[in-house]
Amino acid sequence: MATIVPSTTYPDGSAISVAGHNANIYSTTSGEGIFSEPNGGIGVVNLGASFSIKDEHVMSEEATMARMDSSVIATDIYNNAFGVRDDQDASYVPIAGLSERVFFPYDMSTVIWQWSFFVAGWIPYLLQYQTGNWDTGEAQFRLFIDGIEHSAFRRKLPISGDLVIDWADTSSSPTEYELQYSGGTSINKEQNETLWFDISKLQKNVSKGYHELVVKLYLPRVVFSGEEDELTVQAGTADFATNGSEEDMIECTVHQRVTLGTRNVRCIAFK
Amino acid sequence: MSYQFPKRVLRTGDVLNPRDLTEDFAPAADLVSGKLNAHNFNQTLGSPSVTVDRRAFYSVDGVLTTPVPFHWTGSTPGAFGYPDDTTIDAGMFQLQNNFEWQALNTSVLDFSVALTTGTAVLWINAYVQYLWFGFNPAWGTWSQNVLTNQHRNYASQSPVNLQFALRVNGNVVEETITGIDDITYRASVPIKPEDPSAYAGLPGPQDLLGRQISSLGPACLPVRLGACVPVQPGDQLVEVVCRRVPFTDRAYGSFFPGYGQYDVVFMYSRQIHVTELKMFPVDSVTSVEVSAPAFSDEAPLSQATLYTQRLQPIVSAYNSIDVGSVQRGALTHSQVPSTLLDSATTEQLYATDAGPIFNNYFPGHNDDTVTTTGFSGAPGTGWKLITDASNNNPVRITGFTVTDKCQILVLANLRVRNISALLEQTSGDETLYAGNFAAFALFKLMWQYSGSGPTTWNGVEASTGMVNNFVWWPRYDVNSSPIGAVTGPNLQAGIENVEVALMAVLDFTATAPTGPINLGVFGSVANDGTNYQISAGNIIALAYR
C-alpha cells in the first residue's frame, strides 16, 4: 500500500467534488480512500517513525509456542517384555512419556526439542570365570523425529550388573553356566548409576503441520560370547526365596531391565 | 475491526445530510483509534525492516548465572587432586540431609528468579553442579585385590540419593523431579527362574529384589532441568530445589542407613534462565484517539469542517500509524518478522560404542587456556575443544552472526562414554588395579570471535560441569588369581555413558557482538592419568532480541 493522498481537500468557495469525495472515502486505486486502504493494505510505509511491534500486538501463539508432555509413572521395561525380535530391529519400542506430537500452524524458523528422563538400568557385564571371556548387555535410547532417527542422540546406559558365571558342570565339555556371585548385592550396582538425561535438539526451517518426537528403546536379548541363545544360568534357590538353598539350583534366564522415572518432552517453536 | 465499506456513494445532485457525511468519515477514524487488526495489514509487516520491541515475542528477564569453583587439594594442572572438603565458601550451598525441598540459597546468593508476567508460558532451563564430599583415593584399603572404598561417605558403593526439581510459585513441577516419586522404589533384578515352581520356594513368581533407585546415584554430576510451565498474570518466582532422599536400602548393609555427620553434599555453579513466551501480555501501549466529530444539522461545510477537522487527521493517522492504533492481538505469524535474531546447531556422532579419548589437563578455574592436544603421552595443558581423534568435526558452532544487542542462550550435550583412571598397587609379584573413583573430567562452554586463533577462547565459568569415574571396575577384574585369563581391568565394565548437559548465557545486551562468533564445548581432566571419552555431542545457540 502507498500512503493515502487526498483526492480533494474541499477548498472553500468551490463546489464539493463528487468524484474526489468518493475517492477520499473508497477507491480501488492505490493511495486513495480512507475506507479502502486499510482493507488489508496497510504496510511498512504507513508506520509512524516511532512505531514498533509491541507484545500486545502479537496474537497468542502466532510468534512462539511451547508444548510439554510427560509421565511420572515409574516404568520397568524388561527385554523379554518386548517379545523376541530376532531381526534386531534398531527402531524399537516407543517409551510412554517420551514422545510428543505437535501441530505447527505455520512454518517455524527454529524449533527446540528437549527431552528429559530419569533412568536406572540393570545392564550386565558378563565374565566367564575360567576363560576370561566377557560380554556386555546393551540398552540404547534412540531419537526419532518425524520417523527419522537422529543418530547423534543415541544414548546408552552404564554397566550396572556384574555377573560372573562359572561352568556348572565339571565335564570336559561343560555346557551350562552357573551364577557365581549370587545374592544380589555383589552383582547389582544399579543404585549408584541412576542418571538424569536432559537433551536439547534444534531444528531450523520446520514446515507447518504435524511433527512428532519419539524416543525409542533398543533393549536386545542377553547373549554371551556370540552364542545364539539367550543366556541361561544355574542359580541357587536361596537367591529367590528365604527357604531356598545355595545347593538347590534352578535354571534362570538373564535379561536386562530399564526403569524409567520422571520423563518429559518439550517443544518450543519460534516463528 | 474487519473490512469496511461506505454505505453509499455520493452522486451529483444528492442532498448532503449530516448522517451520511458523518458516516463517510467516522468509521475510518474509529478504526485507526486502536482497532486495526490482522485484516487491515498486509504481510510486509513481516519484513525485517519493521522495528520490533525486544519484548514483543518473549521476555528474558529471568536470568541468573553464578559460577562457583571447586576447591582442590592441588593447584597444578595434571595434579589438582580432588575437591577439598575443608574449604567452604559462601557461594556453595550445603544441602540439608533431609527430605524437604530446599531452595539453593546462600547468604550471598538468592538463587531464584522473580519476574512479572501476563498470561504466559515460562520456558525454564536451569543448571546445577553438585558434589558429594569425601573423595579421597587414599581412604580405603586394598582388599580382595581392589581398593574397596575410595570415598569417605561410601559414594563408590552407595548413591548420593538426590532429587532436583523446578519450583514455580511455590509448587514443585513434578515433571522435572529427577527421580521416582515413590522413594522406596525397587525393581527386580532381571535374572528370572524359568520355572519358579520347580523348587520349594514360595508360591508364584520369584524375583531377586533390586536396589532403591528413586534418585540420582553419582557423587558428582552437573544437572540440567527444563520445563514449559503455563502461568497466570502476576508475579512469578522460579527456583531450583533439591532434597536428599532417605535410604531405604543401602547396598552395603554394614553401614548405618542414614546420613552421617560428615556426609555433606554441596551445590556449586548454578544457573536459571526463564523465557516468558507471551500468551496474553500485560498492556504496554497507550491508546490513541483520532476524532471525526459528527456533523450537525445546518453545520457549514467548508475546508475546515470537511478536510482540516476530519479527513486530514484520519489520513495523517493512516499515513503514520501509532503503536496505539493497533488492536491487541492484531498481528499474525505472517505479519511479524523472525522472532529470534539467529539460531544454530552442530551435532556430532563420533561412534555408537567408542569415540575419541582425551587426557588434556584442566588449567584451573577462571582460566581459559586452551590446548589443541587432545590426547598425548605428554598431555596438553588447557581446555580442549571436543573433536574427533583427528581434531576434526568439533562440537562447535561457527559464524554465529548477530549484529544487534542480544542475549544468547547456549545449550550443549555430551555423551561421555567413559571416564577412567587406574589406581594400582604392587602386592608381591602382582600388580593390583582399581578404577580410580576420584578421576574427574570437567567440561565448559566457550566462545570466540570468528577468525580468532584456535586457542583464543572466552570461557563461561558458570557453565563448568564435572563428573567423576562413578562406574569403577568390579572387584574380580584384576590381573591375579584366580582369574588368570584376565590380563587387566576391563574397560567395558567401567563405562559411564553419562550425559553431561551444559548451559550458558552470553550477555550482549549492552554491546552487540562486533562480528560473527563461534561457540564450542570443551573438556579437560583434573589429574594425570585420567582420560575421558566422548561418543557424541551437540550444541545449540539462540540469539534473543
A48 touches chain B (CB under 8 A): yes
Sequence ranges of the domains in chain B: 58-191+202-281+339-544
What is the model's pTM? 0.94
Q: Identify all chain A residues contacting B386, using CB atoms and an 8 Å cutoff.
A: none
Lowest mean pLDDT among B225-229, B322-326, B427-431: B427-431
Compute the average pLDDT of residues B399-417.
95
Compute the average pLDDT of residues B289-307.
93
pLDDT at B147 over 50: yes
A38 touches chain B (CB under 8 A): yes
pLDDT tens figures, B74-92: 999 999 999 987 888 889 9
Q: Give the three-state DSSP class for B446.
A: strand
pLDDT at B237 over 50: yes
Band (B485; pLDDT cuts 50, 70, 90)? very low
What is the nearest CA distance from B67 to chain A, expressed in angstroms? 21
pLDDT tens figures, B457-480: 999 999 999 999 998 765 554 444
pLDDT at A159 over 80: yes
pLDDT tens figures, A161-182: 878 787 777 667 767 787 765 4
Q: Identify all chain A residues contacting B496, using CB atoms and an 8 Å cutoff.
A: 158
Please indicate whether, in this complex, the C-beta atoms of B47 and A44 are within 8 angstroms of each other: yes
pLDDT at B20 over 90: yes
What is the nearest CA distance from B487 to chain A, expressed in angstroms? 9
Please indicate whether, in this complex, the C-beta atoms of B56 and A63 are within 8 angstroms of each other: yes
Residue of A nearest to B248 (CA): A191
Lowest mean pLDDT among A219-228, B297-306, B379-388, B512-521: A219-228
Band (B423; pLDDT cuts 50, 70, 90)? confident
Please indicate whether, in this complex, the C-beta atoms of A250 and B195 are within 8 angstroms of each other: yes
Q: Which residue has the higher pLDDT, B431 or B76?
A: B76
A246 touches chain B (CB under 8 A): no
Q: Which residue has the higher pLDDT, B48 or A14?
A: A14
pLDDT at B30 over 70: yes
Residue of B nearest to A235 (CA): B193
What is the nearest CA distance from A186 to chain B, expressed in angstroms? 9
Q: What is the pLDDT of residue A185?
A: 43
- The count of C-alpha atoms lying within 13 angstroms of the C-alpha of B384, restricted to the half-sphere facing its C-beta, is 31
Q: Identify all chain A residues contacting B413, using CB atoms and an 8 Å cutoff.
A: 198-200
Contacts of B349 (CB under 8 A, 6+ apart): A151, A152, A154, B535, B536
Q: Which of A55, A165, A180, A242 has the highest number of chain B CBs within 10 A, making it the mutation to test binding with B?
A: A55
Q: What is the pLDDT of residue A183?
A: 44
Q: What is the pLDDT of residue B484?
A: 41
Q: Identify all chain A residues contacting B45, using CB atoms and an 8 Å cutoff.
A: 43-44, 53
For chain A, what percent of residues have pLDDT higher than 70? 90
pLDDT at B187 over 60: yes
* Arithmetic mean of pLDDT over chain B: 90
Q: What is the pLDDT of residue A128?
A: 77
pLDDT tens figures, B159-180: 999 999 999 999 999 999 999 9
Q: Which residue has the higher pLDDT, B210 or B375?
A: B375
pLDDT tens figures, A20-31: 999 999 999 989
- Closest by Cβ to B190, choosing from A78, A118, A271: A78
Q: What is the pLDDT of residue B113?
A: 95
ipTM for the whole predicted complex goes beyond 0.90: yes
Q: Which residue has the higher pLDDT, B349 or B137?
A: B349
Q: What is the pLDDT of residue A237?
A: 79
Q: Which residue has the higher pLDDT, A176 or B487?
A: A176
- Closest by Cβ to A63, choosing from B57, B59, B352: B57
Please indicate whether, in this complex, the C-beta atoms of A65 and B345 are within 8 angstroms of each other: no
What is the nearest CA distance from A172 to chain B, expressed in angstroms? 18
Residue of A nearest to B29 (CA): A34
pLDDT tens figures, A137-146: 889 999 999 9
- Secondary structure, 3-state, chain A: CCCCCCCCCCCCCCCCCHHHHHHHHCCCCCCCCCCCCCCCCECHHHECCCCCECHHHECCCCCEEEEEEEECCCEEEEHHHHCCCCCCCCCCEEEEEEEEEEEECCCEEEEEEEEEEEEEEECEEEEECCCCCEEECCCEEEEEECCEECHHHCEECCCCEEEEEEECCCCCCCCCEEECCCCCHHHECHHHCCEEEEEEEEEEEECCEEEEEEEEEECCCCCCCCCCCCCEEEEEHHHCCCCCCCCCEEEEEECCEEEEEEEEEEEEEEC
Q: Identify all chain B residues contacting A264, using CB atoms and an 8 Å cutoff.
A: 175-176, 227
Please indicate whether, in this complex, the C-beta atoms of A40 and B41 are within 8 angstroms of each other: yes
Band (B43; pLDDT cuts 50, 70, 90)? confident
pLDDT at A251 over 90: no
Residue of A nearest to B474 (CA): A162
Which of A:95-134 have CB within 8 Å of B? 105-106, 109-110, 112, 114, 116, 118, 120, 122, 125, 127, 129-132, 134
